[in-house]
Structure 1
Amino acid sequence: MEPYGTSGRKNRAKVYSERRFTSPPESYSTVEDRRAHEYAEYDYGNFYEKPPALPKRNLPPTTSSSVHSMSPRSMPTPLAHSTLQRLHYPDPRRKQDYCCSKQKMIGAGFVAITLLTITAVIMFLWHVQIKKAPETVDGTTDKTTERLVQYDPLVNKSMKTTRADYLMASNYLVTLIITKRKVCLFEVTNSEVKQSENDFMEEHIQSAQLLYFSNLSHSGVPVHPLQFQRHVRRLGVDEDCHVVLYDRGQVIWSTYAFWIFKLFGHEKLSLLNGGFAEWKALSSRPNSLYKLDHGPSPTLPPGNFKARWNADLIMTFDDVITNFDQHTHDIVDAQNDDEYNGKIDGAVFGHMRGSVNIPIDSVYDWINNTWPSDTRQREFFASKGLDLSKPLFIYDGTSLRSTMVWFALERLRFNASIYFGSWPEFVIRAPDFLKVLPDVAMTP
């Protein structure tokens, strides 16, 4: 039996549903049609379905340790009285000990530096003493050798620089030979090659080698740098070798070789003052240390010299012509007086307009076979109007005599170069108004 009032409510709901969803309305209403259509599409059987089952995740089993790790940490144990006694408190005595240690370290470092400085000074003085008293060949120190160590007044006392002394005395050369220093000694031949070879085989300075002039120049023109490099390497010349040059008395051959070495980048050079003549005179003394050798020189291992072109020491024809417009260089003529003034028959002699004549006889003392002192040379060049502050170039008939005047100027630190084309090239190529010739009227 249904409760009271229940059947009435069901009947009214049924009638309402039938009217709403089955019977069309008497009057057309878009809202009611839409609502009726909307409710008709719903599936009331699936309206309250269960949600789809999600895949289960494979989680690791929960252990007691992991559960324990997630629990809050326990409170630390309160400090006991014994623990408080073990705590570190700063002690002022320890700070004082630290300061004392720091001062001791500074003092020890100062003492060590002082000892090192004293040791270095002692080693330096010992090294200087060894240089002042070199040993002879048999290992004993000789008083004569000590006297030979004294430098010539024309020689600079410093041998530590790359640029060696330009002029070397015979007593200093024998010291270098006795102490077995690295010296490359060369006797330069003259134009008479056969005669030069015979003279060298007969006698020459100890350890010297023969340097052929033909391997330095072809008709007054310097050889190619690589050709020069190959030749001097065969003679054992290294980059750090001290090259010493001499000839049989004409001087121009050794000065030309000096200029060639300088032109190709070798800085450690010297010219033997007095040449072979002075060395031979010293060798005739009894118990002399100035030794002479005979026959061919020994073969040395190849050297490692590298040629480098030094353009500051050379002038070309174009440079000379440009100088007449810009006047940047003084011009020095190394011909003799007759050649300079054109008083010699058989060739066209003369000089460049504006040049200063300085023959080789004015820069060398032929009577004493030596170079004049620096003071005398400076006074002479000043009388010719030459100034250290202005560059200059030198020329003559073949460039040989030019190198002798160039060497005299280079010793005094003049900025000098050589016009290797010389007068023969200039007289052919240059305009007439730049040449001073005999019995020829020059019009600029």
Structure 2
Amino acid sequence: MTDNRNAPLPVLGLLLAFLFPHVAHSHSERDPDIRPLIPAAQVRAMRTTPGGERPVFIDVRSIRAYKAGHVPGALHLSIEASFEPVGDRSRIVAPETFRRLFSRLGIKNSDYVIIYDDGRLLNAAHLFWVMEVYAHEKVSVMDGGLAAWLQAGGKLETRWAARSRSVYVPGMSPHHLSTRLTTRLALDNPDVVIVDSRSPRQYRGLESRARRAGHIPGAINIPAERNIEIEDGAPRVKPQGELQSLYRALGKKRHIIAYCNRGKESALTYLVLRNMGYSVSVYDGAWLEWGNDAVLPIEKD
């Protein structure tokens, strides 16, 4: 019971998603015509094409950065709103909290939402993952963030944007979220690969933000920062060819569980792998939970 007392989603759904990850993935609620990652130039074209898609933008940078200039009409959301404090760590925001948050922002279930940040994609990726867990069908992250938007010729405004309150009803896609229990079970499942998105030093046990150091047994270390390159002064996700080489060892037929310390780095791994067509989830408790639980096994290199 201790493995699930803080889980925000039904344990049965999570277990079914774990036992049949490929079935769950093939029945994803995501709109198949919308890519998880979208170039800024394509986003800008949407706003200038008559009769084209009119997305709702969510800016997850700081309030100060938002006030200094943002995509016209973009709503502001503090990334901390996507976390729920639980003791000395944090978890995905609870369904009811998420419902109130998106209703207050004026987001509708039918809206196509495009999230952006400063370009490093950690904050944008985390909100993207949360929205997928709660089964929002149409959501993307703008690759390169605001810097890429400006390079694509996009304009900025400083006016605080707001929409009328909506009635948002979150769904549930538990196959995108892993718990302590499902991650522990994955250690004995050859069809699941665990990816550690932290730094090599943390993976090897040379430093740790938890009481214990090391990594989850069998996990492959692919730091989240390796997904990003700098192009024309702006961070962007690397080309598909480089990413395919980076993740070749995972295998497309296996389910991936990504974890880090708190959830941002693993969310970036999640975003990149989702964009590549992988079946993937994020271990919500992350290393701060696993590393602080003396009952759970660890490895050091």
TM-score class normalised by the smaller sequence: 0.7 to 0.9
C-alpha change, 1:341 and 1:277, in structure 2 (3 Å) is same
Q: Is 1:341 paired with 2:210? A: no
RMSD, matched Cα: 2.2
Gapped regions of structure 1 (runs ≥ 5): 1-160, 190-195, 284-289, 439-444
Please list, as runs of the form range in 1=range in 2, the aligned pairs for 1:80-119 lying within 5 A after superposition: none
Greater helix share, structure number: 1
Match of 2:257 in 1: 393
SS at match of 2:165: coil
In 2, Cα distance between the equivalents of 1:435 and 1:409? 25
Aligned-pair CA distance for 1:390: 0.9
Identity %: 20
C-alpha change, 1:182 and 1:226, in structure 2 (3 Å) is farther
Q: Is 1:207 paired with 2:73? A: yes
Match of 1:313 in 2: 176
Q: Is 1:197 paired with 2:67? A: no
Match of 2:127 in 1: 257
Q: Is 1:422 paired with 2:286? A: yes
Aligned-pair CA distance for 1:260: 0.6
Match of 1:227 in 2: 97
In 1, Cα distance between the equivalents of 2:289 and 2:150? 40
In 1, Cα distance between the equivalents of 2:280 and 2:208? 31
Please list, as runs of the form range in 1=range in 2, the aligned pairs for 1:114-263 lying within 5 A after superposition: 161=31, 164-178=34-48, 181-189=53-61, 196-218=62-84, 219-263=89-133
Aligned-pair CA distance for 1:346: 7.3
C-alpha change, 1:346 and 1:363, in structure 2 (3 Å) is closer
Match of 1:381 in 2: 247
In 2, Cα distance between the equivalents of 1:169 and 1:330? 29
Structure showing greater relative contact order (alpha-carbon pairs closer than 8 Å, 6 or more residues apart)? 2
Within the candidate set 187, 193, 197, 1:324 is matched to 187
Match of 2:271 in 1: 407
Aligned-pair CA distance for 1:330: 0.8
**Is the contact made by 1:202 and 1:295 (CA closer than 8 Å) also made in structure 2?**
no
SS at match of 1:220: strand
**Is the contact made by 1:350 and 1:435 (CA closer than 8 Å) also made in structure 2?**
yes
In 2, Cα distance between the equivalents of 1:207 and 1:180? 16
**Is the contact made by 1:334 and 1:401 (CA closer than 8 Å) also made in structure 2?**
yes
SS at match of 2:213: coil
Number of aligned pairs?
Answer: 263
Which deviations, in whole Å up to 9, do the C-alpha atoms of 1:294-328 show, x marking residues without a partner?
1311x212234320121101111111222223444
Aligned-pair CA distance for 1:365: 1.1
Aligned-pair CA distance for 1:170: 1.8
In 2, Cα distance between the equivalents of 1:198 and 1:332? 34
Aligned-pair CA distance for 1:175: 2.3
Aligned-pair CA distance for 1:162: 5.4
With 246-255 and 360-369 compared, the bigger mean Cα shift is at: 360-369
Which deviations, in whole Å up to 9, do the C-alpha atoms of 1:216-256 show, x marking residues without a partner?
11243111112112211222211221100000233100000
SS at match of 2:270: helix
Which deviations, in whole Å up to 9, do the C-alpha atoms of 1:92-144 show, x marking residues without a partner?
xxxxxxxxxxxxxxxxxxxxxxxxxxxxxxxxxxxxxxxxxxxxxxxxxxxxx
Q: Is 1:357 paired with 2:229? A: no
In 2, Cα distance between the equivalents of 1:386 and 1:229? 35
Which deviations, in whole Å up to 9, do the C-alpha atoms of 1:420-443 show, x marking residues without a partner?
1111211232546x21147xxxxx
SS at match of 1:256: helix
**Is the contact made by 1:163 and 1:267 (CA closer than 8 Å) also made in structure 2?**
no
**Highest CA radius of gyration, 1 or 2?**
1
C-alpha change, 1:346 and 1:172, in structure 2 (3 Å) is closer
Q: Is 1:296 paired with 2:160? A: yes
C-alpha change, 1:337 and 1:171, in structure 2 (3 Å) is same
Which deviations, in whole Å up to 9, do the C-alpha atoms of 1:29-77 show, x marking residues without a partner?
xxxxxxxxxxxxxxxxxxxxxxxxxxxxxxxxxxxxxxxxxxxxxxxxx
With 199-208 and 177-186 compared, the bigger mean Cα shift is at: 177-186
Q: Which amino acid aligns with 1:169?
A: P
Q: TM-score, normalised by structure 2?
A: 0.81
Aligned-pair CA distance for 1:282: 4.1
In 1, Cα distance between the equivalents of 2:53 and 2:280? 31
SS at match of 1:303: coil
In 2, Cα distance between the equivalents of 1:364 and 1:234? 33
In 2, Cα distance between the equivalents of 1:242 and 1:346? 36
**Is the contact made by 1:314 and 1:417 (CA closer than 8 Å) also made in structure 2?**
yes
Greater strand share, structure number: 2
C-alpha change, 1:198 and 1:326, in structure 2 (3 Å) is closer
Aligned-pair CA distance for 1:281: 3.5
Q: Which amino acid aligns with 2:182?
A: D
